Amino acid sequence: MIVRQDDEDEGRKKMGVLQARNRNGDTPLHCAAAAGNADMIQRLVDLAAATKGEAAKELVEMQNQCGETALHQAIRATTSRWNKLACIDRLMAMDPELACIPREEGASPLYLAVSLGELEIATHLLHTSKGRLSYSGPHGRNVLHAAVSCGKALQTVLEWLKKDVKTTAEIQEVVEQGEGRSSTNGGGVTAAADNNHLLSKLTRQRDKQQKGSTPLHLAASLDGWPMAGFLFGVFPQVWAASSSATALLLDANKSMAYQVDDEGSYPVHVAAWCGSLDAVKALLQTCPDCATLRDGSERTFLHVAVSTERHSVVKHVCEMPELSPILNAQDKNGDTALHAAVRAGDVALFNCLFRNRLVRLDLANKDGMTPLDLSYTLSQYFSLP
């Protein structure tokens, strides 16, 4: 009886040391993982396992003040790649579902790996967890938000999600056949539908910080980021082109093209605002009726392109007969794209629209002004002493 009491006291002391935290909430296991020390990770886990049954699992699942486990620290470690994978394997061996933490809000290990551009680690997590992992990110984002700008990461994650749909359906079918049930009862379809629901949910998820953007909104905006062209040209494996990211997401879920952000803008408006002609083409090719979508100010993407002086997008619209219906579309103020060109004071844009025979010159806005009237008014304003 005394021996058992002594053992329990000794176990509590060991766990007290193992669960001790620094001012950041890190345990010794967090620190070992951050240092990339796989051997120390194993020693700490073994010490916890020697005290009681679930102690080791509890230890690896402990989170610091940032909500991160030791797995997050292992991914972020700046040691050699072999050590990174070794640390991850030691932690995942103790708890195969460790990549599920955090289960709701916060950066998941997969999100962290993708956002750091560590595609090898992200792929390793996908395979070692066998799909039992979290795709969540901070501020309402998910791993697709992080992947759109990370080269091949987006393609890898989407392929995994699609593969997971197929695999789950096949497993369900085998189980049903083994139980003597017919696969025609819809079980396999249901399994696939559940995973299709996950893919749909991730692709349509809006963040809570960047104006309610979906992954497609971010993909459409890539060309508008500072140094985007340079980054893609020099680091194609790290930085994705807007057109390729847009095409991949549309292939996964076309309905994203019809989802607005907090400002009422569709992805096609974002692409036009950034001057990403390739993204605009990808959207219109997959979803032709995107051309007629209106934002919160009832503007078409042509209005947006003219207002932000995106010459390539405006020229493309003027050259495509199938886009002629939006040439004379009016926003909530009654302004057409030609009105917007006059307001922008861009002669090249004005000439591009003016020379198109389908563009009407007599349409008045809600102030009763045609583009000519507006031009005269603005010229009078700017000529004042």
CB 146 within 8 A of CB 107: no
Question: pTM for the whole thing?
Answer: 0.82
Mean pLDDT, all residues of the chain = 83
Which tens digit of pLDDT belongs to each residue from 121-160? 998 998 888 878 999 999 999 999 999 988 688 888 998 8
Residue 142: predicted pLDDT:
94
Q: How far is CA 123 from CA 145, 270, 353, in A?
A: 17, 30, 48
Question: Is the pLDDT confidence value at 43 over 70?
Answer: yes
Which tens digit of pLDDT belongs to each residue from 67-91? 999 999 999 886 455 666 899 999 9
Residue 16: predicted pLDDT:
78
Q: For residues 276 and 316, what is the distance between their CA atoms, to the nearest angstrom? A: 11
Residue 232: predicted pLDDT:
43
Residue 10: predicted pLDDT:
58
Say if residue 102 is preceded by a cis peptide, omega within 30 of 0: yes
Question: Is the pLDDT confidence value at 235 over 70?
Answer: no
Residue 170: predicted pLDDT:
40
Question: Is the pLDDT confidence value at 323 over 60?
Answer: yes
Residue 1: predicted pLDDT:
44
Question: Is the pLDDT confidence value at 172 over 90?
Answer: no
CB 280 within 8 A of CB 301: yes
Question: Is the pLDDT confidence value at 110 over 50?
Answer: yes
Which tens digit of pLDDT belongs to each residue from 178-212? 344 333 344 433 334 455 788 999 999 999 987 89
Rg (CA), the chain: 28
HEC secondary structure over the chain: CHHHHHHHHHHHHHHHHHCCCCCCCCCHHHHHHHCCCHHHHHHHHHHHHCCCCCHHHHHHCCCCCCCCCHHHHHHHCCCCHHHHHHHHHHHHHHCCCHHHCCCCCCCCHHHHHHHCCCHHHHHHHHHHCCCCCCCECHHHCEHHHHHCCCCCHHHHHHHHHHHHHHHHHHHHHHHHHHCCCCHHHCHHHHHHHHHHHHHHHHHHCCCCCCCCCCHHHHHHCHHHCCCHHHHHHHCCCCCCCHHHHHHHHHHHCHHHHHCCCCCCCCHHHHHHHHCCHHHHHHHHHHCHHHHHCCCCCCCCHHHHHHHCCCHHHHHHHHHCHHHHHHCCCCCCCCCCHHHHHHHHCCHHHHHHHHCCCCCCCCCCCCCCCCHHHHHHHHHHHHCCC
Residue 59: predicted pLDDT:
92
Q: For residues 51 and 354, what is the distance between their CA atoms, to the nearest angstrom? A: 81
Torsions phi, psi for 253 (to 5 deg): -160, 100
